[in-house]
């Protein structure tokens, strides 16, 4: 379940090949997101991804060993982005500022990468077998570390005594809802699609609701 990164031919400068490699990988990941979101893992073929990316099929196998490797790369990419917004959380941070920043960042990911979020949701709903390697002991330790920061804030009287686990679950679900269930939101609000302003309004309201529920005062810029 690992993504194969092939050895490349020597290049004197390294820069042209690096730029081309990055561009191709981005094109492949973007095309894979489209296909996996539309047809699921089983209904997607490497050939379809290659056609959407505008690259020969052989190029896909040059960067990724097989469809499963590419699928996991798509999942890992969005998870790494989501988790990166929480990596630097410390006990010295201001809880209100930290939570407001996290909510805004997660909603921005939902706005910019809704397909990757949908793929992740479908994978989890189907059992999450392809994420088994990601949600390992290291990840569980990372998760406990995030929860421990909330416990420290609570112990210091900086926020109400809530269960950190359920707060994190709420943060995840509420921010990803705008990507995963965007079609439902559009139908009930009679919109063709969600625009940047919709996500800004969502951020303001989620910050108010969640922070107030934690006994915090939303930052002025929220």
pLDDT in tens, 120-148: 999 999 999 999 888 999 999 999 999 99
Spell out the domain ranges in the chain. 15-69, 72-213
* Residues 152-181: b if buried by 16+ CB within 10 A, e if exposed: ebbeeebbeeeebeebbebbeebbbbbbbe
Encode 26-38: b = buried (16+ Cβ within 10 Å), e = exposed: ebbbbbbbebbbe
Query: Cβ(87)–Cβ(132) under 8 Å?
Result: no
Residue pair 40/121 in contact (Cβ under 8 Å)? The answer is: no
pLDDT in tens, 147-180: 999 999 999 999 999 999 999 999 999 999 999 9
Q: Domain 72-213: which topology?
A: Tetracycline Repressor; domain 2 (1.10.357)
Q: For residue range 24-50, what is the model confidence (pLDDT) as tens digits?
A: 898 999 999 999 999 999 999 999 999
User: How far apart are the C-alpha atoms of 16 and 9, rounded to whole Å?
Assistant: 12
Reported as a single tens digit per residue, the pLDDT across 186-220 is 999 999 999 999 999 999 999 999 999 999 999 98
**Topology (CATH level 3) of domain 15-69:** Arc Repressor Mutant, subunit A (1.10.10)
Q: Specify the pLDDT at position 127.
A: 93
Radius of gyration of the chain (CA): 20
Q: How far is it, in rounded angstroms, from Cα 43 to Cα 1?
A: 19
Question: pLDDT of 52-92, one tens digit each?
Answer: 999 999 989 899 989 999 999 999 989 998 999 899 899 99
């Amino acid at each position: 379940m690992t993504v194969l990164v092939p050895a490349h031919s020597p290049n004197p400068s390294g820069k042209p090949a690096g730029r081309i490699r990055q561009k191709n990988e981005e094109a492949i990941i973007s095309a894979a997101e489209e296909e996996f979101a539309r047809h699921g893992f089983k209904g997607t073929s490497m050939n379809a991804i290659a056609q959407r990316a505008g690259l020969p099929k052989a190029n896909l196998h040059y960067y990724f060993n097989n469809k499963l490797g590419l699928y996991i790369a798509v999942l890992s990419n969005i998870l790494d982005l989501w988790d990166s917004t929480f990596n630097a959380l410390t006990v010295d941070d201001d809880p209100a500022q930290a939570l407001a920043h996290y909510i805004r960042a997660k909603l921005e990911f939902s706005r910019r990468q809704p397909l990757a979020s949908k793929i992740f949701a479908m994978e989890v709903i189907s059992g999450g077998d392809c994420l088994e390697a990601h949600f390992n002991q290291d990840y569980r330790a990372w998760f406990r570390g995030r929860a421990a920061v909330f416990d420290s804030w609570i112990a210091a009287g900086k926020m109400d005594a809530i269960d950190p686990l359920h707060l994190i679950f709420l943060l995840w679900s509420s921010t990803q809802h705008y990507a995963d269930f965007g079609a439902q939101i559009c139908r009930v609000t009679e919109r063709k699609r969600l625009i940047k302003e919709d996500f800004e309004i969502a951020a303001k309201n989620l910050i108010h609701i969640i922070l107030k529920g934690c006994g915090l005062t939303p930052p002025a810029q929220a």
